[in-house]
Amino acid sequence: MISIKTEKEIKIMRQGGKILAEIMAELEKKVEPGITTKYLDKVASDLVLKYGAKPSFKNYQGFPDTLCTSVNEELVHCIPSNRKLQQGDIISLDLGVLFKGFHSDMAVTVPVGKVCPDALRIIRVTKKALKRGIKKVRPGKTFGDIGNTIQRYVEDQGFNVIRDLCGHGIGKEIHEEPQVQN
């Protein structure tokens, strides 16, 4: 069941979301060839604490770290390691923060140095798909409408969606209803 938030709760969630966006912007600047995903996790952990939040993912369902780091063909929720990023990689950074009792969750895919045109195209297509999905959010529209918009755009661009994964709501729990298939 979808949890309806009060105005006060929505205000807190917006604050947490802004904190998360600032942390992610700082993390993106750290991505470069030669650094490890474990280093990015340490930076993320330090930033989360600096902003007065707590990491949502650490120890969630046994996940040992603050940041999920997925490189190239890795799908999602990978554990940071001593793997060094290489020129031409792409890395997905997935981070959640708990701020004043409410979770925020965000992921972004970042090029590592100069990447091939196909990698840049994947990043562009996924960003545009997200924007199209967000534009679909209106009274009277269903979550299926949103997911369908995303999926159709991605497939029209020659890519596929991962059918076993979905977007989700946030709040007092890191994963809440609704689920948005895409």
Whether the predicted model's global pTM rises above the 0.75 cut: yes
Q: Is the pLDDT of residue 76 over 90?
A: no
CA dihedral 178, 44, 132, 16 (to 10 degrees): 60
Hey, what are 166's tokens? 């979905």
Query: What does the pLDDT look like over 27-58, one tens digit per residue?
Result: 999 999 999 999 999 999 999 999 999 999 99
Domain(s) of CATH 3.90.230.10: residues in the chain: 1-114
Query: What does the pLDDT look like over 124-154, one tens digit per residue?
Result: 999 999 999 999 999 999 999 999 999 999 9
Q: What CATH architecture does domain 1-114 belong to?
A: Alpha-Beta Complex (3.90)
Neighbouring residues of 128: CB distance < 8 A, sequence distance ≥ 6: 153
Within the chain, residue ranges assigned H as helices are 7-30, 37-50, 117-135, 143-156
- Give the H/E segment covering residue 103: strand 102-111
For 56-61, which contacts have Cβ atoms below 8 Å and span 24 or more sequence positions?
Answer: 56/95, 56/96, 56/97, 56/98, 56/103, 56/104, 56/105, 56/174, 57/94, 57/95, 57/96, 57/174, 60/174
